[in-house]
Chains A and B, each alone.
Chain A
Amino acid sequence: MEMILQSLISGIVIGSIYALVALGFVLIYKSTAVINFAQGELLLFGAYICLTLVTALKIPFWLAFFATLIAAALLGFLLERLFLRPMIGEPIISIIMLTIGLASLLKAVLHLIWGSETLVFPDVFPTEPLMLGPLSISQVYIYSVFFAIVCLILFNIYFRFSRSGIAMRAVANDQQAAQSMGISIKRIFANAWAIAAVVASIGGILIGNINGVNSSLSSYGLKVFPAVILGGLDSIPGAIVGGFTIGILEALAGIYIDPLVEGGSKEVVPFIILVIVLMIKPYGLFGTEEIEKV
């Protein structure tokens, strides 16, 4: 029982990071209709930048954290301007391939700069585990869930009340109508990429503090697909619910299915769930159904 609870907790932690990455993903899809296969690389970028600032330049963690967010936002702007803007109006397959190419390019650049070894954050959070009855929870876990939830709340507020957040929702809803109301679509697209990069790098910093940083972190970019499909590709609450659900299901699969197939089910169970969801409810739990009229 304790073991199950323990892995449930780690499932929730991983789920919170999925939720963050999924949030950025949904954001880009919602406002620009682009599926971003490079989300995992954005996460990796954030993790590396923060790590370098903390270890090599000895900047205090909190300062480094915010500096990383600014760097990520700049990267997001740059990617949108250089690669995505020329692709406006191209078919879906071209845009998917473009983000795949982008993922490959980013990964190579990161690899060239930081190498392939696992780099470890210095202890930023207190190392003493918190005892909750018989369970011991390391404090990093609590911080990262706390962080994820704060981010999710902040972004919800941003989309609900701030001017640019509302503009972004308007573009997502109907590009033409938004444009005729005087909203600059190009700026919204750029904002969407910047925010997605910021959210992904928060996820990267958190997971980097838990597991260390190496290039395999970019696989989070693929793992996020089951989460967003489950929640609905264009729904922000869906991304959050989907992220946590997939994280927890993964943890459960680790306990119950791994013994049957000699391990490794964590990788594949989310994708089996994905196929089932696509078969039964293609637009996910909260996604908008597309109705086609002739």
Chain B
Amino acid sequence: MAIKCGVFKTNYKDDMAIWQTKAVKFWLALFILGLVAFPFVFKDSKYLLYVMNTVLIAVIATHGLNILTGFTGQISLGHGAFVGVGAYTSGYLMNQFGAPFLLCVVAAGFVTAIVGMFFGIPSLRLKGLYLAIATLAAQVILEFVFIRWRDVTGGNQGLLVQPASIGKFAFDTDYKFYFLALFFAILSTMVAKNIVRTAPGRAFMAIRDRYISAEIIGVPLFRYKLISFGISSFFAGVAGSLWAHYIGIITPEHFNVMVSVQYLSMIIVGGLGSVVGSIMGASFITLLPEVLRALSNLFSDKYPFLVNAFGAIREGVFGLVIILFLIFEPDGLAARWRTIKNYWKLWPFSY
């Protein structure tokens, strides 16, 4: 199971392969096994399971945003609201029509995809900064709808949602839900990894790198931008649906502009245009406040002001992390991981 110490590929097929070597397959299998074993080991810690579940849901949504922003180059400040659209759709369908959970997830994905594509229409004419502002408008408008369309969303009081269930089996505890979230997270990772290897995926990257050239070599810009918005929002919708059935009550403040910013920071920290990066970034940004909370609890005996100031400290550290990453590691954790791997490949004779 040794790691190869150089590039020995002789054809394109090998170069494009997902399983570059047997060692990769082995380590990945071990990683997934570890993830599956996690709840058995920490069965009693509701808190740890809760944190892991939120990480897994964040991973799904982040894959979506990374396809849009990292691979297609379209900045979206409305991802949080799209997750919200998924959550409300799923909750409403289950409450009003008694739809089964799996149907709700798929429906939430499609409805969110349509909403996302609608708000993606301005992307035909707008680029960069202007698109960021247009999606910010989408965020504000959708948030307003969440609060005011009380018949569907329950307004500020929120919407009570039944836990997820397949057949008679209800995923109503953190422990049970973990497996559902893990399944969807792995599925979404596989889908994301494969989408970027297909023709549309290559078209996305062409648009990101130089859209005028992309158009000249025959990539219809508008269609692919819309597809990208659609796919990205589909992921957001699925994540939102899972979130709704996990938390049990959805309120508008779960989907405000700060949430959108958090998703953006996940792909920045993880690495734009990297599927592995989405996973790393989502984990990092979700775990950050939890680690801070643990630290602040640890020191709160000595420095009691920490308890009151925790919210501000969390926000400040969040901002600082984004800034430091952008200045010192603009390609994110995924790039850092690659550097470390390459270092060890040739160790100890790195020349």
CA distance A271 to B119 in the complex (A): 13
Shortest C-beta distance, A99 to chain B (Å), equals: 10
Shortest C-beta distance, A275 to chain B (Å), equals: 5
Q: Is B98 an interface residue (CB 8 A)?
A: no
Which B residues are CB-close (under 8 A) to A278?
Answer: 122, 125-126, 130, 133-134, 137
The count of A-to-B residue pairs whose CB atoms sit within 8 angstroms is 136
In the complex, per-residue mask of B211-247: 1 if CB is within 8 Å of any chain A CB, else 0? 0100010000000000000000000000000000000
Find out whether the CB atom of A268 lies under 8 angstroms from the CB atom of B129. Answer: no
Pick from A35, A103, A226, A229: contact of B319, CB below 8 A.
Answer: A103
CA distance A271 to B133 in the complex (A): 9
Which A residues are CB-close (under 8 A) to B216?
Answer: 294
Pick from A93, A96, A101, A294: contact of B212, CB below 8 A.
Answer: A294
Assign chain A's interface to a size class: 35 or more
Find out whether the CB atom of B212 lies under 8 angstroms from the CB atom of A292. Answer: yes
Find out whether the CB atom of B318 lies under 8 angstroms from the CB atom of A104. Answer: yes
CA distance A19 to B326 in the complex (A): 31
Find out whether the CB atom of B132 lies under 8 angstroms from the CB atom of A35. Answer: yes
CA distance A268 to B144 in the complex (A): 7
Find out whether the CB atom of B316 lies under 8 angstroms from the CB atom of A108. Answer: yes
Q: Is the interface of A mostly helix, strand, loop or mixed?
A: helix
Which A residues are CB-close (under 8 A) to B137?
Answer: 225-226, 271-272, 274-275, 278
Pick from B140, B319, B320: contact of A268, CB below 8 A.
Answer: B140
Q: Is B136 an interface residue (CB 8 A)?
A: yes
CA distance A111 to B144 in the complex (A): 26
CA distance A101 to B309 in the complex (A): 19
Which A residues are CB-close (under 8 A) to B132?
Answer: 35, 92-93, 96
Q: Please, which residue of chain A has its CB at the minimum distance from the CB of B268?
A: A97
Q: Is B272 an interface residue (CB 8 A)?
A: yes
Which A residues are CB-close (under 8 A) to B130?
Answer: 229, 233, 278, 282
In the complex, per-residue mask of A135-154: 1 if CB is within 8 Å of any chain B CB, else 0? 00000000000000000000
Interface residues of A (CB under 8 A from B): 29, 35, 83, 86-87, 90, 92-94, 96-98, 100-109, 111-112, 222, 225-226, 229, 233, 261-262, 264, 267-268, 271-272, 274-275, 278-279, 282, 292, 294
